[in-house]
Structure 1
Amino acid sequence: MKFKFLFIVLFVSFASFSQNKGTVSGTITDKDLNNESLPFANVMIKGTTIGVSTDMDGKYSLNVAAGSHVLEISFVGYETIEVPFTVKANETTTIDRAIGSGSVKLEDVVITSTVNRQKEASLLLEQKNAVEIKQNIGAQELSRKGVGDVAAAVAKTAGISKQEGSNNVFVRGLGDRYNSTSINGLPVPSNDPEKKNIALDLFSTDIVEYISIDKVYNVRSFGDFAGGNVDIASKDYKGKGMFEISLGSKVNTEALGKNNFLLQRGPRKTGFVSYGVPENALNSFNFQNSTNPVGESPFGGNAAFKAGKSFEIGEEGKLNLFATASFDNGYEYREGVNQTFDALDGRKKAFNQEKTIYKTNTTGMFTANYKLNSNHKIGYNFLFINSSDQSRDTYFGYDRDFEKDNADVMVQRGTFVQNTVMINQLLGNHKLTDRIGLDWAASYNTVKGNMPDRIQNKLFKDRTSGEHTIAQQTDTDNHRYFQELTEDEMAANIALSYKLGDNENGDSKGKVAIGYNGRFKKRDFEAIQFNFNLVEEARNIILNPNNLDVLFNQQSYEAGNFTIGSFAGMNPQTYNGEQNIHAGFANLEYKISEKLSGVLGMRFEKVEQIVNWRTQLDAGGGVNAFNRDEFLPSLILKYTLNEKQNLRFGASKTYTLPQFKERALFIYEDVTEIKVGNPDLYPSQDYNIDLKWEMFPTSDELISVTAFGKYIMDPINEIVMASSTNDITWVNIADQGYVVGAEFEIRKNLFKIEGDLTNKLSAGLNVSYMKTHQDIDAEKISRETKGRINTNLTDTESSFTGASDLLLNADISYSKDWKNDKGIMATLAYSHYSDRLYALGVEKQGNLVDKGMGSLDFILKTKLSKSLGLDFTARNILNPEFKRVQENASGDLPAVTYKRGAFFGLGLNYQF
């Protein structure tokens, strides 16, 4: 009886309590990312244990007692906001809110399994808690600094610089050969036969979720690593749906100041071409393009769209789709000195160079990420990039090889380069049990690099009459050149991980991972040059330099004014390369104590590289191969000094491979230099060490100091050979070289006003100082190349080419939000590098040195409404003069000088 009475009381009480409950629900969005939905945000009733995490669409729903409450909304690395509300029984109150980066303190942050890697605060938190030593740049920081491509993005980080006039990125003084590039952890091939890495400025930041820069090696990566690895994480859209269109225009001040902006005729404005080597080119003049230039109006622009949407599939499934397509073009003009000198500082070539440039970039990307459930996820990424670089160079002045009374020399070269990159990736992440995880990835990539119909002509200009005639001493002076590269690469990663036992707090003590990486690359390269040998009478014909078609045409060819020849008839010069890498690794991550954690790894790689060729240096053809077994240990330690400070240590062994072109007996001729491959080149061995202290005062602030050192055995370097033509080649220059340096970085809020709407002034500074050194051993070079390569370098030691002692990046940003989704963000950014070695001196000449210079940019981004934005950019505002000098005891001699001009752009974007 008592039991029945108690049951009735409990039932009545429960029914009464249920009738007094209401519901609060809504959607939480990300204020800093165009109010995209924010999954996994924490929604709590303050002062209670009632709470829930938002779903993949940012939605939540809570049942609470009728009355007044305070809703507390938070997310890792974001501000926490409190919303008072009142709910009535059996009714629903809707509360939608947007949250963003705020004044959250790191000690208040609770780490969850999901981090929004577009946000600066979230990436700093991930950096703080990771055992590995890394730096990340998210979409938010890229937008704030107005960065348009990945090359400009990585050059904003400590210890990294971009070489003027090229796509080379230097990490801690180490250039292209010492670095590597990947997308979503999978390697990508180069688009340039002279480079190891793909040009990072091909990648628009529109496709980027975040960029990870690893300067400390871990055994999950391929061992061809000494400077750093740049990993691009492609965008993974999550939200109900988005469609954005953007349009923009830009100008270059130097190009606008050019009265007659001329470019090579033939290539399309889109950057795509379909022409190539003409048929029967040795017996008739049937080249498709005119030698005459075409005038342009140097105004560039861009257009792009982005779209994304998420779909629910079944009870737990979620499909996220994202696509973007863009086209960008721009014009540049440069004018300045281009000179070379002999050992007595006499001028060999003394030109004034004018260069007009037109560039395009077409990008298309599609990603599909499918979450089957909380344990299984697969993704597919497709990326297509077509870039073109069209230039017309005019060199005018003195050339010692072309002595003629009362006449100057003019060299005209029109070049068009089209590079196409196609990347396919399939990735999977699986949680097999609570302790066992499986990650896998595979890729198939294709790169095509074409230089169709490069045109060069040399002329004399009479100083008295101003009349022009053809200049010719060798068959190659007047020519048309065709080059084609195709590279296919497959890669595969697989890793199995196991979480170790829990400690007394219930946290895992660490994990063990074992895995396999494979990388298989094949390159086919061919080039053919058609040389025009003019008869003596034709060399006296008076010509207009901008109308050479009157001489180079089929009628003139039939009249016998010139003949057409090549190295081996219609058979091109070729070199082919194949590289296969099989690697296995084991990795132990372990929490030794509450404060000390470490990662110990071992990797084994079997490396095979084969290069064969048939060129004008070896008409019969040749082949060269090497096989290497590389054992690569690594150790990373992290000591937590307190909740805000870490001390880190890293040590590893890696190696550096020579590239295909460097080992093929192929000649590449530029106007002022010639490069030749060296089949006797072999890999370097690298030993790396890092020590880093870091402090995180708040969620979006950082102070860090790093000391690093690298010891390199058998370093590879470009040198000038002791020969009549002073050709450039690559050699293992000595037994050893080293790099030592330090980096300092600070990100600080100068002021921040608390509240729902951002009002913040922040600044950042990173400074790197380093010293590089390598011995120069002429006897070693001669011995290892069996006397084929000799050199007469001026010094017996030098710094590394491309390395600056001092690198500096600084920025200051102001951001403010108003109601109704309006806002403004302005950034002033400055970058500087000190003097850097371009080439080693030879025959008692001084070194060629690029003088230090700086660049100042201003970026303004506005939100006029929730959907409409207006942006303004001003780059290279100071327009400093680039100077390359030949060092000399009596003073520096100018070798190359020019100004790039300032770039101004205006953009409009609208999101539906």
Structure 2
Amino acid sequence: MKKLFAQILFFFSAFAFAQETGTIAGALSDKEMNNEPLPFANVTVKNTSKGTTSDFDGLYKIENIPTGTYTIVFSFIGYETVEIPNVKVEADKVIEINTGLGASAAALDEVMITTVSRRDSEVALLLDQKDAVDIKESIGSQELTKLGVSDAATATTKISGVSSSEASGDVYVRGLGDRYLYTTLNGLPVPSDNIDKKNIDLGLFPTRVVQSVSVSKNFSAENSADQSSGSVNINSKSLVGLSELGFGAQVGVNTNAIGEENFKQSVNSNDISLGFYNQKTASEDAIVNQNWNTESRKLPMNYKYTVTAGKKFGEKFKVLFTGSQSSNFEYNEGIFQQFNRNIDDSKFNDATYYRNTVNTTGLIDLKYAFNKKNEVRALSMFVNKMTDEVYESGRNREGFVFEEVNNEDQYGQYVKDQNTKQTKLWVNQILGDHEIGERNHLTWGLGYNQVDADEPNRLRNEVNIKKATDTDPELIELANQGGFQQRRSSQIIDDLEYNARLKNEFKVFENDTVSSLKISAGGNFRYKTRDFESDKFGVDEAGAPGQVTPPSIDDLNAIFTQENFDNGNLNLITQSKSDTYDGELNSASGFVSFNYGIKKFNFNLGARYQKDEINVDYDVAGAPGGREGSTTKDYSNIYPAINIKYALNNKNNFRLAASKTITLPEFKEISPFPYVSPTNQIVVGNLDLEASNVYNLDAKWEFFPTNKELISVTGFYKSIQDPINKTFLRGSSGYFTYYNTSDKAEVYGLELEANLGLIKSDNEKGVNLDMSFNFTRMWHEQDLKTIYGEDGNIESTFKYNNKSEVGLEGASDYILNTALNLSTNWEREFNANVSANYASDKIYAIGSAPDSQTVSDSKLYNNEIIEKGFVILNTTISQEITDKINLSFKANNLLNPKIERTQDVYDFASDREYSETTRSYKNGVSVSLGVNYKF
């Protein structure tokens, strides 16, 4: 494979010819009509053949201008011609020239000239969105900086119909969560940093490495068909200009965490250095050679520092490096409960999390431009995410676990879970962009990704606290209903992935005033493997319970001594063999699309053939049908897509899109390994899970009031065949798993978006106020299915509590994102931004029926678990001090809402249902001060 990469790179390098170019874009206004947009004005680059005309909004763009210094000429019949001399066009930049034309020539001080990166200015991205055939929205680094956005995850929430869950961290597009989304970096798939999720945490991409973030809400043939709500693509930055050198630092606190006088950390924190964990003792040996008690620290302060450096060498070679490290402390406390068949399985009203996350990110980008029209780019991104967690519940002596003791007056349960998760993600890409002749535009990419997601030394203690009485003191006993309730475990995951993309766009003919035809063809390849291994080592009492008693819950380590093992008081329990599974994904596809434009219409018709094969071989204790086994999922389909755009005029677009896509199951969703959360909730994959086929329909109207404003309305409909849902399985030991719970689910909704300038001032001491607003209303439902055997009897059913219909997991009825941004025209720019995000209630997990042989109205069911809606309010203030220094203040989660999950539970005594809180907590307010310095 390495030889193949080298040969392909050599081939493209040997035949590549490139020339650096820039873009001139901007907006023209009519001085004779109160500075309204001026359409149909001529814009030319003097002494060249380059030129264009402004559209109905006064917008214009001239691309592929060779670097150099030019005179730009603006003219309109009956108006004075304006010439702007000494306009310097730089490689990979957009020169924005905004001016007005009238009966008298504009003075040069009336002309506004700014220089930005090629695709990160608001004007450039708005033009791209306006010209695009598919339904796509983008936000660039220029606007992200203005809004005070620090990462790509937050950036997506500025786009209509997109929300982020504070509880799960997932990004939802049109209310559909992780499994329906597809994430790429520069058009190539990027692996998740969390094996429980399909998509990478977009919060790992700080905005300084982002050129733009785009969300495509409908499918086009050149993209993977494994998307149903849409796809997110992050375009990473390359060096702009000749050089760059900057440094940033930020310090802050989380109000919850800083309030803890002794912030708890796992015992593993002693082996963490500079955000990297180095395990010094194997988990089995650590039973007696490492402490079982937690560590603590004072003043848990958040910090972040960044450095960016870049330089152009000669005329062809550019290098950019950016690196950062951030450390964040979080603490929350609240309720945790779990009900199984309407019976309280466990209950804690003091469930607490202490969490410290250290992210270390480095990106190096190399770009080499040959002569003529082609370039090759290579980048490598490394992310190390270290999360140290301590979970405790039952410290108040009121904890309850059904399987241990059923006498809350005499006993309470206490649980402590210490875990260090370290994920190392390495993304490598080689990208090519080639113009071959006048008609062919070839782009390609090769990628190699590696993920090591490890939990190398997890500690768990479960004890029973016999409450003190008038005659007897409190007594700590080891929990005894399992054998592994005092344990150390390790979990190792290694993911490797090779991927590639190739696209050639051929211009059959192009006539700007009449018609054009372009044909695109290419393919994609993805090969991914996963090696998973889990081991655990337990400790149990040799005799009757209560023979070995720790002095307190804060000194459980006192009993884990070599002496207690040598004298037979404690036994070491080990698995007979490791739990393992190996996953393999093979995905290969080819596509062709035709883009035909005639007058005001543009038709894009495409089809993609994609073959996906997923294989999982497992060796897991307790797996259905025996410890060892395998499962194979094979899907070969043609996925059609049609996108139609009608430009009523230069101010209005109408769009229509229809497509078929697929939602593939993930490795963890079909692997029968039971993962136990700190709260003791278990998630197990389902060998019988199948992919979902999705049919999509979108209609959109776009209105551009001015050159920087947009109002749009979108209607969408999705029919999901065999939807995948997470459900809580009934039984003597309840657990979460994944099922195709219905034959069909339907989702439809409306989106409203508005980006408007409320106040605009040309005064050098004036202020500007902009507002962005997007609102989504969704309706969604699925018919829960029942499977009958040949004899007519029920084999299994997903109907529960007389419900045959229920909403879709993860989908919110309402989504609202809005922001107000204040900026000044002062010599030293000032920006202030307030943003709010709201997503209404969503289903966290589907409910379940009593069992496969009983009727659906039995009371031994589980209702769905609901994640309640909440509002997130953030603000950012920044002030430019000098040309090189900028100060900023950020406050996130100002309202500090309660994050809450609820479940309707049937009470057998009163014969009625009532709502119970199954999880609740507050994350606290995060505030920070930052400084950035550009050399």
Q: Which TM-score applies when normalising by structure 2?
A: 0.84
Corresponding position: 1:572 with 2:595: no
5 Å matches for 1:266-305? 266-267=268-269, 268=272, 270-275=274-279, 278=282, 281=285, 285=287, 288=290, 290-305=292-307
**SS of residue in 1 equivalent to 2:125:** helix
Match of 1:851 among 860, 864, 868: 868
2: CA distance, partners of 1:175 / 1:69: 52
Is 1:448 the counterpart of 2:448? The answer is no
Q: Give the Cα separation in 2 of the matches to 1:495 and 1:55.
A: 20
Counterpart AA for 2:444: W
Q: Report which stretch shifted further, 328-337 or 146-155.
A: 146-155
- In 1, distance between residues paired with 2:333 and 2:97? 51
Deviation, structure 1 residue 42: 7.5
Aligned: 1:665 with 2:672: yes
Question: How much has 1:328 moved relative to structure 2?
Answer: 0.2
CA spacing shift, 1:246–1:549, aligned 2, 3 Å: same
Partner AA of 2:416 in structure 1:
Q
Task: Measure the CA separation in 1 of the matches of 2:330 and 2:308.
Answer: 28
Aligned to 1:135: 137
Q: Whole-Å Cα distance in 2 between the matches of residues 709 and 82 of structure 1? A: 43
| 8 Å CA contact retained: 1:499, 1:510 | yes
- Judging changes above 3 Å, is the alpha-carbon distance between structure 1 residues 836 and 522 closer, same or farther for their aligned structure 2 residues? same
Query: Which 10-residue stretch deviates more, 343-352 or 328-337?
Result: 343-352
Cα drift, residue 561 of structure 1 = 2.7
Show the counterpart of 2:55: none
Residue 647 of structure 1: which of 622, 644, 654 is its match?
Answer: 654
Supply the distance in 2 between the matched residues of 1:508 and 1:443 (Cα, whole angstroms): 37
The aligned residue for residue 886 of structure 2 is 869
CA distance in 1, matches of 2:700, 2:322: 38
In the TM superposition, what whole-angstrom CA distance separates every residue of 1:595-644 from its partner, at most 9, and x where no partner exists? 00011001111221110100112464111113221110000000001111
Q: Does 1:457 align with 2:465?
A: no
Evaluate the alpha carbon distance shift between residue 269 and residue 747 of structure 1 in structure 2; reply closer, same or farther with a 3 A threshold: farther
The reply to whether residue 99 of structure 1 matches residue 113 of structure 2 is yes
- CA drift of 1:474 comes to 1.2
Residues in 2 aligned to 1:882 and 1:453: alpha-carbon distance in whole angstroms: 29
1:218 aligns with 2:220: yes
Q: CA contact under 8 A between 2:724 and 2:739: conserved in structure 1?
A: yes
Q: What does 1:559-598 align with in structure 2 at a 5 Å threshold?
A: 559-568=567-576, 571-591=577-597, 593-598=598-603
Three-state SS of the structure 1 residue aligned to 2:23 is coil
Equivalent residue, structure 2, for 1:160: 162
> In the superposition, relative to structure 1, how do residues 426 and 95 fare at CA in structure 2: closer, same or farther (>3 Å)?
farther
Q: Distance in 2 between matches of 1:139 and 1:115?
A: 9
Query: Does residue 1:434 correspond to 2:402, yes or no?
Result: no
8 A Cα contact 2:583 2:617, kept in partner: yes
- Partner residue, 2:527: 520
Which string of whole-angstrom CA distances, capped at 9 and with x for unpartnered residues, describes residues 544-569 of structure 1? 2222221123333223232122222x
1:234 aligns with 236
Are residues 1:198 and 2:207 paired?
no
What residue ranges of structure 2 are gaps of 5+ in the alignment?
A: 1-19, 29-41, 51-62, 74-80, 102-107, 849-859, 906-911
Match of 1:22 in 2: none
Distance in 2 between the 1:263 and 1:672 partners? 19
Aligned to 1:60: 69
- Does structure 1 retain, via aligned residues, the 8 Å contact 2:198–2:666? yes
1:437-586 correspondence to structure 2 within 5 Å: 437-464=441-468, 465-503=473-511, 505=513, 509-535=516-542, 536=544, 539-568=547-576, 571-586=577-592
Q: Which amino acid aligns with 1:580?
A: N
Residue type matched to 1:192 in 2? N
Distance in 1 (alpha carbons) for counterparts of 2:327 and 2:65: 38
Q: Secondary structure at the match of 1:128?
A: helix
The 3-state SS of whatever aligns with 1:892 is: strand
Query: In the aligned structure 2, how far is the partner of 1:832 from the partner of 1:69?
Result: 48
CA distance in 1 between partners of 2:559 and 2:686 (Å): 39
Output the CA distance in 2 between the equivalents of 1:756 and 1:510.
47
1:71 aligned partner, one-letter code = I
Match of 1:248 in 2: 250
Which residue type is aligned with residue 861 of structure 1? S
Instruction: Pick closer, same or farther for the CA change 1:829–1:708 going to 2, 3 Å.
Output: same
Residues 190 and 647 of structure 1: is their aligned pair in 2 closer, same or farther, counting only changes over 3 Å? same
2:736 is aligned to: 728
Tell me if the contact between 1:567 and 1:616 (Cα under 8 Å) persists in the aligned partners.
Answer: no
Structure 2 residue identity aligned to 1:825? N
**Contact in 1 for aligned 2:730/2:862 (Cα 8 Å):** no
Tell me the equivalent position of 2:841. 835
Return the offset for 1:351: 3.9
Aligned to 1:887: 904
Q: CA deviation at 1:459?
A: 1.9
Structure 1, 522-531 or 472-481: larger mean CA deviation: 472-481
State the distance in 2 between where 1:473 and 1:394 align: 19
Contact 2:903 2:916 (8 Å CA) reproduced: yes
Q: 1:519: Cα distance to partner?
A: 0.6
Q: Which amino acid aligns with 1:245?
A: F
Deviation track 1:501-527 (CA, whole Å, cap 9, x = no partner) reads 23374x770310111111111111111
- Over the aligned positions, Cα root-mean-square deviation in angstroms equals 3.1
CA shift for structure 1 position 725: 0.8
- What SS does the aligned partner of 1:762 have? strand
Q: Does 1:903 align with 2:923?
A: no
Alignment partner of 1:826 is 2:826: no
Query: Distance between the aligned counterparts of 1:499 and 1:422, measured in 2?
Result: 37
Q: 1:62 to 1:856 in 2, by over 3 A?
A: closer
1:601 to 606, 619, 638: 606
Contact 1:513 1:588 (C-alpha < 8 Å) held by counterparts:
yes
Is the counterpart of residue 71 in structure 1 residue 94 in structure 2? Answer: no
The aligned amino acid for 1:324 is: T
CA contact (8 A) 2:728 2:862 kept: no
Question: 1:487 and 1:845, CA in 2 relative to 1: closer, same or farther beyond 3 A?
Answer: closer
Of residues 868, 874, 877, the one that matches 1:860 is: 877
Deviations 1:270-303 (A, max 9, x none): 331122772764xx84555643333342111011
The verdict on how the C-alpha distance between 1:907 and 1:56 changes in structure 2, with shifts beyond 3 A counting, is farther
Flag the 1:69–1:221 CA change in 2: closer, same or farther, 3 A. Answer: closer
- Rate the CA distance shift 1:311–1:262 in 2: closer, same or farther, 3 A: same
Amino acid at match of 2:729: M
Go from structure 1 to structure 2 and tell me whether the alpha carbon gap of 1:334 and 1:565 turns closer, same or farther (over 3 Å shift). same
Deviation at 1:817, TM superposition (A): 3.4
From 302, 325, 328, the equivalent of 1:327 is 325
Unpaired runs of 5+ in structure 1?
1-36, 84-93, 102-113
The 8 Å contact of residues 247 and 908 in structure 1, kept in 2 or not, is answered as: yes
| CA deviation after TM superposition for structure 1 residue 174, in Å | 1.6
Contact 1:173 1:800 in 2 (8 A): no
Code of the residue aligned with 1:391 in structure 2: it is E
Equivalent residue, structure 2, for 1:677:
685
Are 1:747 and 2:755 matched, yes or no?
yes
Contact 2:550–2:559, Cα closer than 8 Å, also in 1? no
**CA drift at 1:582:** 1.2
Q: Structure 1's 566 and 699: CA in aligned 2 closer, same or farther, altered over 3 A?
A: farther
Aligned length: 836
Whole-Å Cα distance in 1 between the matches of residues 158 and 289 of structure 2? 45
Q: Which moved more, 1:615-624 or 1:344-353?
A: 344-353
Residue 251 of structure 1: how far off its partner (Å): 0.4
Q: Quick check: 1:871–1:906 contact (8 Å CA) kept in 2? A: yes
Task: Confirm or deny: 8 A CA contact 2:593 2:605 kept in the other structure.
Answer: yes
Question: In structure 2, what is the Cα distance between the partners aligned to 1:264 and 1:371?
Answer: 50
Change (3 A) 1:309 1:756: farther
SS at match of 1:556: helix
Q: Contact 1:77/1:122 (CA < 8 Å) preserved in 2?
A: no
Residue 779 of structure 1: how far off its partner (Å): 1.8
Equivalent residue number for residue 613 of structure 1: 618
> For 1:705 and 1:287, how far apart are their aligned partners in 2?
63
Relative to structure 1, is the Cα distance of residues 791 and 724 closer, same or farther in structure 2, using a 3 angstrom cutoff? farther
